[in-house]
Structure 1
């Protein structure tokens, strides 16, 4: 039996959801515009006009969902290229593409509908499609489909901005009142960042960070991480505790990120003169999650867990290690014994009364 990884499953689910949205949108269009009751009883090729209309609606929803579903997948695969384009250019290209795909859908639906109803395609079929494209009904449909399409993309952009699932939590007010949650926090920071920033200059250095975090996105998607925040050249990744520990995803992501950087080593060396390296610190446990802010809302985490993870990451240079973890994480990861864990020291971290056992993680 063919097994799909989570990233592929997510793409399939997104594709099916987009199809469902378009089918629903088409029937909403029918409700909003209504139909002429004087022709409801008319017969065409032994089928009522209403039945033909329903057939067109079903075919239209399916084909719009399929075509724009594939367009959505294409856009996701080209995110890196699109990121470098201006929004004006993207909107212009998308608008032209939308018009062409809508015309293509109308043509396909018109031909298939006639084939199903009449059993054949005549010259009159193409003339009817041509007349329809020139009518005011076509422009109303084009406007409606553009609004639906833009709404889908806008929702995806906002969801991507907040992080997967966060937008829905905000809409539902899930964290309006602080709630206790158990999470894994992984802090990753560029090694020798100050030296590189001075060497490259702020423009080139900023481009370096963009490239690194673009490569990180591949690993984030693969291991179901959420990006909590970017802080300069540092990034904080989070998981619900059990999800992050399962399969050692919270550890594997760091080494996979290194692999992605290595694969593009020629690009980094040619563009910046070196291959960037990151150091990381990880911790997990129970803390509070709450919706914060008024003008710009987000879900924030408060507690010792996140501060400890940051402190652990800050010790990497002192111990000349690239990846450090707390004892809790190492203990719970013991079941997934695919890495080497070595005890470093029992450290008194800044701001903590009790000492913390620190471990180094290696492949």
Structure 2
């Protein structure tokens, strides 16, 4: 049985938390032992490794299983308080479990008088209080790093840390512009507050589909959003098409929930194009990634043809030539014709994509 992309995404998140805890805990432990001048204690490192594995798993259970790897919808103060209480409780529980395992007695089992005395003595020592506080701060730091990583995406996050985009860099990228259908009418019908919740739920599903297909959200503007992929990463798998298919399926599965909550289910149309762009980080305070080039304008203008042609998904000839065949999910590609787009000197061949009825 194949593992779904949702399961893969959650497994990646679990691995992130466990590896982050292991690396950070072991490095901190090594630094403290080195600073003490007593040398490296292998048994203490082994204890800290065991503790970091339990802590990483506990953190993953809270964020991936309980919160479903999504934003905490509670007020910030309440979310921070609950998370802090969870960290303190899980750290103390993990420390207790590690000590019990460390002091396990073959004849008396996991819990015995000696191990319980060791646990009580451990929590009385000032050095243990410092350790608990350090692990508490570490938990919040890992949560912060994960939040920033989710906001910017893996590629942009790592490249920003490395300073890769401080100078303009030419890249070959695929852009897909997704636009919600009848957004103005929906906004008027629902009102500003309800529509804000409606579009938040819509973008939550879209961002999940984008992440599961290794894409990145470049820009959200009202009811439209630009997704992007490296062209070379799509030579073997047509990830933009897979993302379109997954998002359509996701909206179909959640149609009942949208209708129950808002009385309407969202629908969308999309266009995709590829080409060379200049990638750079712009701004000083509140800087962000920017892509400069004709590709984005062309993509958005192709998308405007969707309504004119009565199609939901259009792509350019340039992109079609770079996609692997056969196309995934039974997509059928049909020539829609040559079109002169505003700002373009020459006409561009457009293809419409359809999926056979099932």
Per the normalisation by structure 1, the TM-score is: 0.87
Whole-angstrom distance in 1 between the partners of 2:335 and 2:342: 20
Point out the structure with max Rg over C-alpha: 1
- Partner in structure 1 of residue 146 of structure 2: 156
Whole-angstrom distance in 1 between the partners of 2:11 and 2:112: 42
Residue of 57, 72, 82 corresponding to 1:83: 72
The yes-or-no answer on 1:358 pairing with 2:347 is no
- Partner in structure 2 of residue 99 of structure 1: 88
Moved more, 185-194 or 212-221: 212-221
The yes-or-no answer on 1:7 pairing with 2:9 is yes
What runs of 5+ residues in structure 1 fail to find an aligned partner?
41-49
Q: Cα gap change, 1:154/1:177 in structure 2, threshold over 3 Å: closer, same or farther?
A: same
- Partner in structure 2 of residue 346 of structure 1: 338
Residue of 13, 22, 26 corresponding to 2:25: 22
Cα deviations by residue, 1:58-105 (Å, 9 ceiling, x for unpaired) = 222322233323422540342477531112112111111111122122
Per the normalisation by structure 2, the TM-score is: 0.89
The answer on whether the counterparts of 1:185 and 1:284 sit within 8 Å (CA) in structure 2 is yes
1:346 deviation in Å?
A: 0.7
What runs of 5+ residues in structure 2 fail to find an aligned partner?
none
Whole-angstrom distance in 2 between the partners of 1:122 and 1:199: 66
SS at match of 1:83: coil
Cα deviations by residue, 1:132-156 (Å, 9 ceiling, x for unpaired) = 2123222111111112212111111
Whole-angstrom distance in 1 between the partners of 2:28 and 2:324: 50
1:117 deviation in Å?
A: 11
The answer on whether the counterparts of 2:54 and 2:94 sit within 8 Å (CA) in structure 1 is no
Residue of 57, 60, 66 corresponding to 1:72: 60
The yes-or-no answer on 1:191 pairing with 2:186 is no
SS at match of 1:315: helix
1:264 deviation in Å?
A: 1.0
SS at match of 2:166: coil
Cα deviations by residue, 1:287-317 (Å, 9 ceiling, x for unpaired) = 1111111111222111111111111111111
Whole-angstrom distance in 2 between the partners of 1:2 and 1:289: 36
Q: RMSD value over aligned CA atoms? A: 2.6
1:358 deviation in Å?
A: 1.0
SS at match of 1:346: strand
The yes-or-no answer on 1:234 pairing with 2:236 is no
Q: Cα gap change, 1:116/1:294 in structure 2, threshold over 3 Å: closer, same or farther?
A: farther
Residue of 227, 233, 244 corresponding to 1:243: 233
1:162 deviation in Å?
A: 1.9
The yes-or-no answer on 1:145 pairing with 2:135 is yes
SS at match of 2:325: coil
Aligned length: 348
1:331 deviation in Å?
A: 2.2
- Partner in structure 2 of residue 293 of structure 1: 283
The answer on whether the counterparts of 1:55 and 1:113 sit within 8 Å (CA) in structure 2 is no
- Partner in structure 1 of residue 157 of structure 2: 167
Runs of 4+ off more than 4 Å: 1-6, 79-82, 116-122
Residue of 113, 122, 126 corresponding to 2:102: 113
Whole-angstrom distance in 2 between the partners of 1:103 and 1:61: 16
Whole-angstrom distance in 2 between the partners of 1:166 and 1:216: 19
Whole-angstrom distance in 1 between the partners of 2:163 and 2:70: 35
